[in-house]
């Protein structure tokens, strides 16, 4: 039976079948014209206006750093340390792990003012403190989610459930590429585990799969299967890809399936990456001074190496680079997740490299049009968790207030935005939502978040859903 059997076929099958579908024919010709999918091109009409930034490096501290031990100094916690928190503060509150009436927990770390901005930053972040005047510190972030996976996915996609495109995928779709030999959106992981939200944090959702984040690794081949198999040289590989491309183009012309065009383009990108990526990933080409500034070591698996790689990527035109560093979930159940042993370790692993990245970008003239973002998916409570009677100090998940910082890309350097109450529990000034953050970031990239949409299943979707406000007070 063929799809054109007038008896066995439905009207829908007849209209949709192969060359008989005139829409599919036209789409197939458009897509197959040069072997690239139209869906890969930058969205029509973008940018909407002159952009301040061209690219983004997002440093996500997976597990959520304690803002009360790093950026949001609260002297009142010291005077109330060890006392039960006021019942009125936690009435009808839901916690991930805290039971009963928890006790106030003061930070064991000293804070001091830094730079002309006078930003109060913890002793745990000496390198970040040294660049305080380059940062836009937002102490008034809040979120709707208080568990890791949905909170991470919400922060990256604008929705707490899987299936929506990530921020990097939206930019890949919206702004295209400045370097066709490298992916538009690159993801790198460090720490013991991947983020709780998994690949959904960098997924393409309903956008064509060409816009999904591409994982780079610190050790071995930067991208899996980048090297040719034993016995296959570059000429053989090229001939194989040419034959595969012809077959895919024939199928594309028959069906008009944009995912086939995506497959063609990805094969071609992979071939070009066999030349471009090995040079990119060779950190030994960097000066000893640069390696020392980041704390990077060629061949090592570390946040420092990934941060240096991020600079090399944006320098070569990659649109969005996402770094995840696991281990900030400071519950205090043991030394591996408390604020006395674990938190300082995470700071030592990331502080130097985060600050070096800002300085390095600035010295190379890249910071002006590169946005760097640092932060976790939510904050930590001003109370000690004491799960199961633990004697270690730790803090539970806290969605009502947390701190993030941005640098470059037209954000106002030296700004300290927003404030929390005297216990650091609720935002009392300058409240900033996840959708506000996305709207503001898109604005700096020349995109009106309300007009930046993708039609899926009969509805126009956007990164900011139906919310979000550009927070111009954060901008220079």
CB 390 within 8 A of CB 114: no
* Residue 131 CB coordination number (10 Å): 22
Secondary structure of residue 137 in the 3-state scheme: strand
Residue-level pLDDT at 23: 38
pLDDT of 399 over the 80 cut: yes
Q: Which of 30-44, 60-74, 116-130, 133-147 has the lowest mean pLDDT?
A: 30-44
Closest by CA position to 425, among listed 379, 463, 459, 458: 379
Q: Give the residue, 267 or 45, on which the prediction is more confident.
A: 45
Mean pLDDT, rounded, of the chain = 88
Average pLDDT over residues 141-162: 97
Question: Considering the chain, what percentage of its residues have pLDDT values greater than 90?
Answer: 74
pLDDT of 271 over the 90 cut: no
Q: How many Å apart are CA 112 and CA 129, to the nearest integer?
A: 9
Residue 241: C-alpha distances to residues 235, 238, 272 (Å): 10, 5, 12
Cis amide linkage into residue 324, ω under 30° from 0: no
Average pLDDT over residues 322-346: 98
Two structure tokens written together for 283: 């950190």
DSSP annotation string for 308-370: HHHHHHHHTT-SEEEEEEE------SSGGGSTTTHHHHHHHHHHHHHHHHHHHHHHTT-GGGE
Closest by CA position to 387, among listed 450, 451, 334, 441: 334
Two structure tokens written together for 358: 């800002």
Q: How many Å apart are CA 68 and CA 423, to the nearest integer?
A: 9
Two structure tokens written together for 153: 């996915």
Residue-level pLDDT at 228: 65
Q: How many Å apart are CA 38 and CA 140, to the nearest integer?
A: 41
Torsions phi, psi for 452 (to 5 deg): -90, 95
Residue-level pLDDT at 281: 84
Q: Which of 102-106, 238-242, 266-270, 348-352 has the lowest mean pLDDT?
A: 266-270
Residue-level pLDDT at 275: 66
pLDDT of 303 over the 60 cut: yes
Residue-level pLDDT at 3: 39
pLDDT, one tens digit per residue, over 439-456 is 999 999 999 999 999 999
Closest by CA position to 263, among listed 276, 251, 278, 277: 251
pLDDT of 353 over the 70 cut: yes
Q: What is the largest CA-CA distance in the chain?
A: 84
Question: Considering the chain, what percentage of its residues have pLDDT values greater than 70?
Answer: 86
pLDDT, one tens digit per residue, over 190-200 is 999 999 999 99
Q: Which of 15-24, 256-265, 330-339 has the lowest mean pLDDT?
A: 15-24
In terms of C-beta distances under 8 Å and separation of at least 24 residues, what long-range contacts does 274-279 make, across chains too? 274/226, 274/227, 274/228, 274/234, 274/237, 275/181, 276/179, 276/181, 276/182, 276/316, 277/182, 277/222, 277/223, 277/226, 278/222
Q: How many Å apart are CA 395 and CA 125, to the nearest integer?
A: 19
CB 241 within 8 A of CB 13: no
Q: How many Å apart are CA 216 and CA 188, to the nearest integer?
A: 5
Closest by CA position to 376, among listed 138, 170, 172: 138
Residue-level pLDDT at 21: 38
pLDDT of 259 over the 60 cut: yes
* Residue 457 CB coordination number (10 Å): 6
pLDDT of 384 over the 70 cut: yes
Domains of the chain: 51-234+276-474 (3.40.720.10)
Mean pLDDT comparison of 7-16, 32-41, 215-224, 342-351, highest-scoring range: 342-351
Q: How many Å apart are CA 226 and CA 327, to the nearest integer?
A: 29
Decide: residue 365, CB within 10 A, 0-12 exposed, 13-18 middle, 19+ buried.
exposed
pLDDT of 267 over the 80 cut: no
CB 114 within 8 A of CB 163: no
Place 254 in a pLDDT band, splitting at 50, 70 and 90: confident
Residue 289: C-alpha distances to residues 91, 274, 282, 293, 299 (Å): 53, 29, 16, 6, 17
Residue-level pLDDT at 445: 98
Residue-level pLDDT at 269: 65
Q: How many Å apart are CA 55 and CA 368, to the nearest integer?
A: 10
pLDDT of 457 over the 60 cut: yes
Two structure tokens written together for 107: 């930070």
CB 328 within 8 A of CB 373: no
Residue-level pLDDT at 36: 44
Residue-level pLDDT at 273: 63
């Amino acid at each position: 039976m063929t799809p054109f059997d007038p008896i066995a076929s439905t009207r829908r099958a007849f209209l949709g079948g192969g060359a008989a579908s005139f829409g599919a024919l036209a789409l197939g010709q458009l897509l197959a014209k040069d072997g690239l999918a139209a869906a890969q091109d930058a969205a029509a009409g973008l940018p909407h206006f002159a952009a301040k930034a061209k690219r983004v490096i997002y440093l996500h501290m997976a597990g959520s750093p304690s803002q009360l031990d790093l950026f949001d100094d609260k002297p009142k916690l010291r005077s109330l340390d060890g006392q039960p928190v006021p019942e009125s503060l936690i009435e009808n509150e839901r916690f991930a792990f805290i039971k009963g009436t928890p006790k106030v927990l003061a930070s064991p770390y000293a804070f001091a003012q830094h730079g002309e901005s006078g930003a109060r930053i913890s002793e745990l972040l000496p390198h970040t403190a040294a660049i305080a005047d380059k940062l836009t510190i937002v102490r008034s972030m809040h979120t709707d989610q208080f568990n890791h996976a949905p909170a991470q996915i919400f922060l990256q996609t604008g929705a707490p459930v899987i299936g929506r495109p990530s921020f990097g995928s939206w930019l890949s779709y919206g702004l295209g590429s400045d370097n066709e030999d490298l992916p538009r959106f690159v993801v790198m992981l460090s720490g013991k585990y991947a983020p709780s939200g998994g690949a959904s944090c960098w997924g393409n959702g309903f956008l064509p799969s060409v816009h999904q984040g591409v994982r780079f690794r610190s050790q071995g081949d930067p991208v899996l299967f980048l090297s040719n198999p034993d016995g296959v040289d570059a000429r053989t590989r090229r001939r194989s890809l040419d034959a595969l491309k012809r077959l895919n183009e024939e199928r594309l012309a028959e069906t008009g399936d944009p995912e086939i065009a995506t497959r063609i383009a990805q094969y071609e990108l992979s071939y070009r990456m066999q030349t471009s990526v090995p040079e990119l990933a060779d950190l030994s080409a960097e000066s000893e001074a640069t390696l020392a500034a980041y704390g990077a070591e060629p061949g090592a698996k570390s946040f420092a190496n990934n941060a240096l790689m991020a600079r090399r990527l944006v320098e070569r035109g990659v649109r969005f680079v996402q770094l995840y560093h696991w281990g900030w979930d400071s519950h205090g159940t043991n030394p591996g997740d408390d604020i006395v042993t674990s938190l300082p370790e995470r700071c030592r692993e990331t502080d130097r490299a985060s600050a070096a990245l800002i300085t390095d970008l600035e010295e190379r003239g890249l910071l002006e049009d590169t946005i760097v973002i640092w932060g976790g998916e939510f904050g930590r409570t001003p109370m000690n968790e004491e799960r199961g009677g633990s004697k270690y100090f730790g803090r539970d998940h806290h969605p009502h207030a947390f701190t993030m910082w941005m640098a470059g890309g037209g954000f106002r350097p030296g700004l300290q935005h927003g404030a929390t109450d005297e216990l650091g529990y609720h935002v009392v000034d300058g409240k900033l939502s996840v959708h506000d953050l996305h709207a503001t970031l898109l604005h700096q990239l020349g995109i009106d978040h309300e007009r930046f949409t993708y039609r899926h299943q009969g509805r126009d979707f956007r990164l900011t859903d139906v919310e979000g406000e550009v927070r111009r007070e954060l901008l220079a």
